[in-house]
Amino acid sequence: MFAITTTGRIISFAWKNFTRNAWIGLATLLVLILSILSVNILLGVNAVSDAAMKALEDKIDISVYFKPETPVLVLDTARSYMASLPQSQEVDMRLPEAVLEDFKTRHKDDEKVLAALAELDQNPFGATMTVKAHNTGDYPFLVEALQNPQFAFAIETKTYDDNSVAISRVQHIAESVRLFGIILIAIFALFSILIVYNSIRIAVYTQREELGIMRLVGASNLFVKAPLVLSGAVQALLAMFLSAGAVVLMVAFLDPKLKIFFDGSDPGLQSYFMDNFVLLAGVQAGAILCLVIFSSWAATGRYLKK
C-alpha cells in the first residue's frame, strides 16, 4: 500500500513538475529534439552518400576482349573459372555472334560502317566477358586471376588496365566518405550527449532551491529525485516521437527529389530508415532515455548532499 501511494505521488509530482516548469521543460524538449534530429540528419546524409558511392561502384567492371578465333571451350573455361571465384559477383559472356549483332544494332543508322562490315568474310569480333566484383577492392585480384594460363593466351585486351586509376580513386573516395560519415556521426552524437547532459543540469539547477527545501522538510532522496527523473524520461520519449515524426516528413519530402539525381534509382534515404527503423528507434530511444535518466539523477544528487 505504501509503495503504491509513494509511486502514485512520484508520478503526480513528476506531472506537476513538468507542467509548472513548462518553459524549462519546453527548452529541454527542444534541445533533445534538435540533438536527435542532428544525429538522424547525419545518418540520412551518410545513407545517401553511401547509395551514391554504391551506384558509382556498380558502374565499375572489367571488360575482357577475346581474340576472334578463340574456341568456345576456352571461353567456357574462362567464364566458369571467373564465376567460381568468391570475389566475382557477376560474369557475363557475350559470344562473337552476339557481339556482332550488338555492333550492328548500335550502328544501324551508319551505312558506311555496315557496308564495311559486309565486305568482311568472317566475324571480326571476338567474345567479350564482363566481370563484376562484389567489392571494388577485389578488382586487382580478379585482374590477376585473368592471368590463368588456361585462357590468358586468348585475351586480346581488357579495360581494367585503362580504368584502374579511376577505379582506385573511386574506391578511395568511397572509403573516405564512409569513414568521414562515421566520424561525423560519432562527433555529433558526442556533442548531442554533452548538450543534453548540460541542458538537464541547467533545468535541475534552476530548481536547486526547491530540491534543498524538499530535503529539509523530510523528503528522502528517492522522493526528490524520482519525479525529476520521471519527467525527464517523459520528455525524452516525447522528443523521440516528435523527432521520429520530423524524420518521416523530411524523408518523405526529400526521397522523391533525390531520385532525380540518382537517374530514377533508389537514393537510399527512405530504404535506409525503413530497413533500420527498429534498430535506429531502439538504440536512439534507449540512449536518450539512459542519458536523460543519468543526467537528471547525477545533477539532482549535487543538491541533495545536505
Partner 1 sequence: MIVLKNISKVYPPDVHGLRDVSLHIKPGEFVSIVGTSGAGKTTLAKLLIAEERPTKGTIVIGGWDITKIKRREIPYLRRQIGVIFQDFKLLQKKTVWENIAFALEVAGEPRRRIREVVPHVLKIVGLDQKAHRFPRQLSGGEQQRVVIARALVHRPKVLLADEPTGNLDTMNTNEIIDVLKKINAFGSTIVLVTHNREVVNGLKQRVITLSDGRVISDQAQGKYILP
Among 120, 216, 274, 279, binds partner 1 (CB under 8 A): 216
- How remote is the C-alpha of 151 from its chain's centroid? 40
Which window, 5-13, 79-87, 172-180, 292-300, contacts partner 1 (CB under 8 A)?
5-13
Q: How far apart are CA 250 and CA 35, in angstroms?
A: 16
Residue closer to partner 1 by CB (options 2, 253) is: 2
Our finding on whether 215 is near partner 1 (CB under 8 A) is yes
Buried b (16+ CB within 10 A) or exposed e, 65-91: bbeeebeeebbeebbebbeeeebbeeb
The one segment of 66-74, 158-166, 180-188, 211-219 that binds partner 1 by CB under 8 A: 211-219
22 binding partner 1? (CB under 8 A): no
Question: Which residue, 6 or 130, has its beta carbon nearer to partner 1?
Answer: 6
Q: How far is the CB of 209 from partner 1 (least distance, A)?
A: 8
x-or-dash pattern for partner 1, window 223-242, by CB under 8 A? x-------------------
Q: Is 218 in the site for partner 1 (CB under 8 A)?
A: yes
- Interface residue with partner 1, options 186, 220, 245, 277 (CB under 8 A): 220
Task: Return residues touching partner 1 (CB under 8 A).
Answer: 2, 5-6, 9, 16-17, 20-21, 209-210, 212-221, 223, 306
